[in-house]
Amino acid sequence: MILVTGGAGYIGSHNVIALIDAGYDVVIFDNLELGHIETVETLKTVQTKGKVVAFIKGDLQKPQDINAVFERYKIDAVVHFAAYSQVAESVKNPRKYYYNNVYGTLNLLDAMLEHDVKKIVFSSTAATYGEPEYVPIDEKHPQIPVNTYGKTKLMIESIMDDYDNAYGLKSVRLRYFNVAGADSQNRVGEWHEPETHLIPNILKSTFSGGKTFQMFGDDYPTKDGTCVRDYINVEDLAKAHVLALKYLSNGGETNYFNLGTTEGSSVKEVFSSCEAVTGKKIPLEVKSRREGDPAKLIADNNKAKKELGWIPEKSLVESIKTAYCWEKNLSGNI
Ligand code: UFG
């Protein structure tokens, strides 16, 4: 059985589906602060191939909660998503991030060691690299995070190295670039309150009563003045986690991989693609830069391709199409 922490959240829920499709039994552990009970209910219906999907409500900051999962289920490996992930909030309230992300992960790792579970796939981030010294960013790029969120993820990566050296706990750290899109069958999708991410915010602006989309800065040193990001489809991303689990099951050593497409898209390009997909003229207002946004983040994904056999397949337009279906669901605008 695979334990998925944060399985009721955006990226976690798509991974639960990918794991079920790959034939695994899954137990979801989530405190439902950011995850949704409706998502859990949906995931429980995705029991293809007779696989088990169990749910335990609990908090990683309470060691007894996470220990209880290992006592109840025979866990073979863990895929760990549960975390706070808002950059601006992390800078304003670092305490919240260090306790939840770092201390919570320590409790999880303790419970794993206590129950002799030695394999974990960890949701890391391009934010561990900080301001890029070069693009595309490969895994050799220095990791100098510039915000607390990135620091918590880098600390966890470093803790995982020490836990391998000392206790033989093997980890794969997957460093995501900008995750986009939703389940192609529209069962789960991105559902943050408040929403801060680019694609859902543009799409929400297409609905009646939606706010004017705010573009944060058009004076960056990029092709059209807006920030460039590498948008990786959430289903493609989920497949990489299944491959990482298989890699660990086959005796793979502790490792880390970038997950991105190598394609950079500017905010203006994403905005135009959203207009094309929705067929709507979207209200737009250019605002000043958002603090802490690097001009350009693009992944070099050769390592994941070569060592995991991972191939991202879906385009930005496909991500926008599925995200739009999901947004219509969420807004009741079907
Ligand atoms: N943007 C807007 N308007 C919006 C939202 C975003 O113009 O309403 C712009 C941002 O300024 C940025 C780009 O769109 O230039 C992408 O912004 P997102 O918030 O969608 O994504 P980020 O690149 O800021 O952050 C993402 C993840 C983080 C992770 C980071 C790694 O959400 O969790 O990538 O670099 F840390």
- pLDDT (tens digit per residue) in 173-228: 999 999 999 999 999 999 999 999 999 999 999 998 889 999 999 999 999 999 99
- pLDDT (tens digit per residue) in 112-159: 999 999 999 999 999 999 999 999 999 999 999 999 999 999 999 999
Identify whether 149 is a catalytic site residue. yes
Q: Which numbered atom of ligand 1 lies nearest the CA of 213?
A: 8
In angstroms, the first-to-last Cα distance of the chain is 36
Candidates 10, 97, 149, 324; catalytic one? 149
Long-range contacts of 190-196 (CB under 8 A, 24+ apart): 190/10, 190/234, 190/323, 190/326, 191/10, 191/36, 191/39, 191/330, 192/10, 192/34, 196/86, 196/88
Q: Which numbered atom of ligand 1 lies nearest the CA of 292?
A: 24
- What average pLDDT does this structure show over 38-42? 96
Domain ranges of the chain: 2-177+233-259, 198-229+262-331
Looking at the predicted structure, is the pLDDT value of residue 49 above 70?
no
- Which pLDDT score, from 0 to 100, does residue 333 have? 57
Torsion of CA 39, 42, 44, 48, to 10 degrees: -130
Ligand 1 near 297 CB (within 6 A): yes
**For ligand 1, mutation pick of 154, 204, 293 (most atoms within 8 Å of CB):** 293
Q: How many helices (H) and strands (E) does the chain have?
A: 12, 13
Residues making up the chain, counted from first to last: 334
What angle separates helix 104-114 from helix 148-167, to the nearest 10 degrees?
20
pLDDT above 90 covers a percentage of the chain that reads 95
CA of 260 to the centre of ligand 1 (A): 15
Residue nearest to atom 36 of ligand 1 (CA): 127
CA of 42 to the centre of ligand 1 (A): 28
Answer whether 318's CB lies under 8 Å from 263's CB: no
CATH topology of domain 2-177+233-259: Rossmann fold (3.40.50)
Q: Distance between CA 90 and CA 231 in Å, rounded? A: 22
CATH topology of domain 198-229+262-331: UDP-galactose 4-epimerase; domain 1 (3.90.25)
Q: Distance between CA 153 and CA 272 in Å, rounded? A: 33
